[in-house]
Structure 1
């Protein structure tokens, strides 16, 4: 699963990385830098609109389907399993045509009570986590709210030594297909899972202290080397 991640990115660089035009960046609703983002907080998403443009904007982290009468569901929706998202009523419509990329500096996973931080090979490149989105409108007088979830898949290689699940990553070569709402996402899940696993296998990771508060110190490696014994 992924229930904590870090987001300290240059939005201009993110827009360039994912081919988002300057006029399609909603800087007023994008999240502030944080090293301890949790479900229900504001995150950044990249999605393709009906106008054919890619948009970089903010979203509520926990997908609320349009048919839900309220903002709270009886089960968590900050993650969705890639194996079943296309058949689950909460996520099926979004899998079909409302897919997004959720950029991150890195993410945390836990081995028991010990957290580990995962980050890309190149610090200047954001992780592209696969996500789904949905719009909800609390009432006729309310504005539409964008909500999103992160897709997860079985962990492989290094990540599997920490946890049995990991975020599904979007390879650069599949970005266009993944964001294209005219393509049924159900047929993309298997190839995405295979290609994304190759990216995850190359991630750097290290143990960190339990994330409390905020700031860059949260991703500082823990040194577990035992002190030298002289006698």
Structure 2
């Protein structure tokens, strides 16, 4: 599953969403620069880690800071919630009612049993979007946030030797559909088909450092 991911401010902008304007892209770059050297991570009980996601706000595309993983009764959920299996959404499409796109330039997984971290991304280092489902949640102090869970699917053959799962990537032509279409079984099926169009462009590179090893709470 997606252990951590990053947003490099040097990204190219061709892969994300055609509706994103320069103001939004500039905002993403500014956020990434402010967090230089840090990979996004699940938020623990004593941490507040809000990360940019792209949402549909009354027919307009917008960026909103959101909490990775679900908050339930004022605390991070006791069940794993930073990732959601695509198979589960196919079986229970009700979770697709609210969705987002998570901008990233790479994600990180450990290859086992070697315990070597790998960075995954698109060739060329472009910005891309990962499918996410969302719900509202509050912290212990009563503050409400949009919470998100990255949708995961089986990895294609050329990546499965490193890790057997990967995020559902949303190609630009499908971005509006993911954000605005009716949330049903047909939508997740279409998202998986669209994501497969990017498979050949996804690469995995071993990291000499231990990037990601301290990113879990």
RMSD of the TM alignment (CA)?
3.2
1:129 aligns with 2:119: no
How many Å apart are 1:178 and its aligned residue?
0.3
Structure-2 separation of matches of 1:33 and 1:18: 26
Deviation digits for residues 146-179 of structure 1 (CA, Å, limit 9, x no counterpart): 2111110011122212011111111222111100
Q: Structure 1 unaligned runs (5+)?
A: 215-231
Choose which of 36, 48, 55 in structure 1 pairs with 2:56.
Answer: 48
Structure-1 separation of matches of 2:176 and 2:130: 14
Structure-1 separation of matches of 2:25 and 2:151: 23
1:84 aligns with 2:91: no
Instruction: Give the conservation status (yes or no) of the 8 Å contact 1:21–1:54.
Output: no
Deviation digits for residues 181-229 of structure 1 (CA, Å, limit 9, x no counterpart): x512432111211221331332122111321699xxxxxxxxxxxxxxx
For residue 188 of structure 1, give the secondary structure of its aligned residue in structure 2.
Answer: helix
Whose Rg is larger?
1
Say if 1:154 and 1:134 are closer, same or farther in 2 by CA, change over 3 A: same
Say if 1:105 and 1:22 are closer, same or farther in 2 by CA, change over 3 A: closer
Say if 1:203 and 1:47 are closer, same or farther in 2 by CA, change over 3 A: same
Give the aligned length.
Answer: 203
* TM-score, scaled relative to structure 1: 0.74
Say if 1:154 and 1:52 are closer, same or farther in 2 by CA, change over 3 A: same
Higher fraction of strand = 2
How many Å apart are 1:142 and its aligned residue?
3.9
For residue 100 of structure 1, give the secondary structure of its aligned residue in structure 2.
Answer: strand
1:39 aligns with 2:42: yes
Higher RCO by CA contacts (8 Å cutoff, separation 6 or greater): 2
Q: Counterpart in 1 of 2:102?
A: 102
